[in-house]
Structure 1
């Protein structure tokens, strides 16, 4: 029996990689679609390597993206993101990927999904993020009617330069007479998470960019400047981190119990560690100067510590850092709150933010950051049809 051939594009977006599809090229039935996507990526894989699929055996490279023309008059395309578990037959559709968001605009332009884009300059692609109901503006450089593929913008966590893509994440306006969605689902700026008989851990639980749990790095016995290879070699720390993530998911109302959070919702919420700004050596050997940072941060993604920073995690950091009384705000260097520059394992990232409110009643209006993207391979993925259709 021959394999199915499905049009697909393998793309880097920010510090992530994923397999991109036009949604119409996949089954309409969600369960059947997910079976196809799991097999394409190579999950579940008991060996943890995804050898027989397109996945790269890390949370940053086991991802799928579905793009289609939008039925919304204010958007060009709809974008659905799936975080594919490596060892379990699960695709978590609960949140966005801020890094791969940078590749949606170029993909949409390349596939002709945007009507009448400009031939020169910058194409503003209006994206509807279908997982969480958010509008994203992606400003993509174009030349001669094509996406510009060469540039000199360097993104920490990526070895090679590329054109800069500016992303603006617009929070939806609340319905008339309705309050804005709660940034703090528990109603508190700081909560306490309890795991077993261990002392409670102070945490800020926020829904901005992606549901995120912030704790001090010291709560896990860390400085906050450690690199992923060090932390991922500490199994006790990883187990405790996942237990705290599960406890936070329950407190935020995102899971009924920690087991459900681990098994069915591995992508979100994210657990992030924060610490005061300090100097450290990044993963590529560069010395990061703490005087140029507002704070340092590390984030866990699908279990291990992320090699750089998730894009949506950066948005959550900016929001939490701007609001007095959060754990992140209390640990950051004093200064203007319309942007934050933080150190991560692969370098640093600046995120701009527009926010309004007071006390525990805040609304994020927009967040902004720059990423880059590149088509790595374009063609078809092959799918063994037996047992799937």
Structure 2
């Protein structure tokens, strides 16, 4: 991957110099019943040589099903049409159902589905995260509270897909619509958010000291109410088009969109009265089947279905994925 690289560029490897582009999936046949394929996600440090297995990646999860079909790990019963692959993620111990079209026994790459922040269009991949609550902590609300306080800032901790921490941009004294480059140039803010993240991690029972806190999870986000603002593309996001606005920090770096597993936690948090997300979201959002989230690159739609006991049955997102190459990566 080209790590460690003190310059943060990973020029001597396959990585792209940011946390979103320094990831690996190890995919293979299932070792347990009831699933078709299993995989382990690896977050690779950029400036350091850290190898983090603590959580999953939603975006890379979208590539596992098509890869399993194209590589022959999973052979669908039909050569053409929509197929579903049940995927077991070893990091979280959870199942993801991936549904996508195939043609002549291979995953279809071409399509007309577009994702904000991703150039072009492609075939749609539907991801249903089954019973995703408590992926790492055993509970949807790992601290047992809807709202906790760390460093004088109120926070909501949710574990759906991956553990996440949500705080209010207003309480931090910042504009909730700032873009990643602006956030990157605010070292004191990043230090404050990291301090809150570390304390939240310990409160969730994931670490006993700051030194034990994983780099990749939980993610921390600041949320704000709907507000028209400019995106990374230079286009304008209208307030009425979204339910809530969020900015995420991933492995110490401002994310240019929103990690998928974090969006699952956010969608569920929006349905919990009194949570930081619910307080900042559009009125009545807890009754909607889908949440429309505003992020630096545009919008993301996430579905979350809760049962009568308030437990998450499934969370749904739509992504794209295609094979870019086959080859050998040489390391030294």
Which TM bucket (shorter chain)?
A: over 0.9
Tell me the distance in 1 between the aligned counterparts of 2:32 and 2:262. Answer: 27
User: Which structure 2 residues correspond to residues 127-206 of structure 1 after superposition, within 5 A?
Assistant: 127-171=87-131, 181-194=138-151, 200-206=152-158
CA offsets 1:101-144 (integer angstroms, 9 cap, x no match): 11111111111011344211112111001100111011121112
Count how many residue pairs are aligned between Structure 1 and Structure 2. Answer: 328
The answer to whether the 8 Å contact 1:76/1:115 transfers is: no
* Pair 1:219-2:171 in alignment: yes
Kept after mapping to 2: 8 A contact 1:77/1:113:
yes
Q: Give the structure 1 partner of residue 293 of structure 2.
A: 342
1:50 to 1:117, Cα distance in 2 relative to 1, 3 A: farther
Q: Does 1:254 align with 2:203?
A: no
TM score, norm. by length of structure 2: 0.95
State the 1:249 CA deviation: 0.9
SS at match of 2:127: strand
Q: For CA contacts below 8 A with separation 6 or more, give which structure has more relative contact order.
A: 1
Deviations 1:199-222 (A, max 9, x none): x10000111111001000123322
| Residues 245 and 357 (structure 1), Cα distance of their counterparts in 2 relative to 1, 3 Å cut | farther
Q: How far off is 1:172 after superposition?
A: 6.6
TM-score by length of 1: 0.81
State the SS of the aligned residue for 2:21. coil
Within 5 Å, give how 1:374-389 maps onto structure 2.
374-384=322-332
Q: Counterpart of 1:377 in 2: which secondary structure? A: coil
| Greater gyration radius | 1
Q: Deviations over 1:298-330 (max 9, x none)?
A: 110000110111010110111100111211111
- Separation in structure 1 between the aligned mates of residue 183 and residue 298 of structure 2, nearest angstrom: 17
Q: 2:49 corresponds to which residue?
A: 89
> 2-side partners of 1:130 and 1:84: how far apart?
17
Of residues 170, 191, 196 in structure 2, which corresponds to 1:244? 196
Alpha carbons 2:302, 2:317 under 8 Å: kept = yes
CA RMSD, aligned part only? 1.6
1-side partners of 2:202 and 2:10: how far apart? 30
Query: C-alpha separation between the residues in 1 aligned to 2:138 and 2:16?
Result: 35
The equivalent residue for 1:5 is none
Instruction: Give unpaired runs (5+ residues) of structure 1.
Output: 1-40, 175-179, 195-199, 385-389
